[in-house]
Amino acid sequence: MPIFPGWESLTYIFATRIPKFRFACYRMILISITILFFAVYSFLIIFYWRTWVKIPSFVAGASAQTRPVSIIVPARNEKKNIARLLTSLQLQNYPTQLTETIVVDDHSEDDTADIARKFPGVTVVQLQEDSLNSYKKKAIETGIKKSTGEIIVATDADCVVGPAWLNTLVSFKDQYHSVFLAAPVGFIDDSVGSNKLLYNFQTLDFLVLQGITAVSVFSRSHSMCNGANLAYEKKVFHEVNGFEGIDHIASGDDMLLMHKISKQYPDRVHYIKSRDSIVYTQAAASWKEFFNQRIRWASKANQYDEKRIYWILLLVYLFNLCFLVLLIAGFRNSSYWFWALVLWVAKTIIEFPFVNAVAAFFGKRSLMKYFFFLQPLHIFYTIIAGLFGQFGKYEWKGRKVR
């Protein structure tokens, strides 16, 4: 016998209608949050695109330089690459008498130093310190101590440069009175051999990072650069006490230094948009190496004093995390998978103009045909690299660092 009239109806409502209502509320909240993140993310990408096309291209005139330059090359176990870089440096159209190249050998276990010594005019310095967490910063610092030039130009041992590279950098610095100059970096074609998927994926991902680098510096929204292609005044490096205060972090010889300098010279930190200034580097040769590299880059996120970049990185991470949440929720209700597909298409549409414009600058527009299909892999790696970058260790040049 029912406790009171209508008890069966009330029980039925609680048993059937309430769970459905609760599920509808959860779905509405999840979809609303996803749409909000997408809206903010879209405004950010549109800003990047519109700013990228506003950045003027720079073309240097004939060489008429009088500024002595020191090129610093940290190197560890680079016997396969160091000769190619040093050969390209000797082909520069910048005055030879104003150029010095210093290779800092970071405890190499191969013939890197011996190969470098065979090149005339190249100074090889052995890094003495051991048991560090930031070997690359110490190597650059050691090279700067040995240098005689007014301008420090930093690149990596696995890179190659064009003949107008140095003249273009110095010409831009002189014209715009830059104290710190971030310059573009691209990948050497087919530098991972037969693994086309890995090469195409990381090239498109790297193009995005290069485009954001240019926009962030040009708009002065936040500091961003790549250590494979930098130029800065040596006296300014000493003014900000070099890597002091950031020398405990394994990475950050580029962006963290840039931020220190930009705080003191906010109007004299620039980006050069010039094909002649591009440095070409090796792409990661394996998926393991790729993830280690990206985890290393992500590890700097919580070290920035400049909080704008932190919030941008957090926005990008949370937006990509929405895909994972929708995918998991889809096992409870398949309608979430439809929303994930819609978001995948929308993400591609909003990003395409920006990435396509950057790809055109680097001569990689042919890769845009893979852009839509590589989105899931990009989302997955963003989530994993962002997570492990904050909580995990990674391998760098054969060492475990944090």
396: confidence class by pLDDT, cuts 50, 70, 90: low
Mean pLDDT of the residues in the chain: 86
Average pLDDT over residues 5-29: 56
Q: What are the chain's domains?
A: 69-286 (3.90.550.10)
Question: How does pLDDT run across 178-223, given as a tens digit for each residue?
Answer: 999 999 999 987 655 668 899 999 999 999 999 999 999 999 988 8
Tokens of 235: 């006296």
Percent residues over pLDDT 90 in the chain: 62
Average pLDDT over residues 66-81: 93
Question: How does pLDDT run across 265-324, given as a tens digit for each residue?
Answer: 999 999 999 999 999 998 888 888 888 888 877 766 555 566 677 888 889 999 999 999
pLDDT of residue 300: 60
pLDDT of residue 30: 84
pTM of the model: 0.85
pLDDT of residue 297: 73
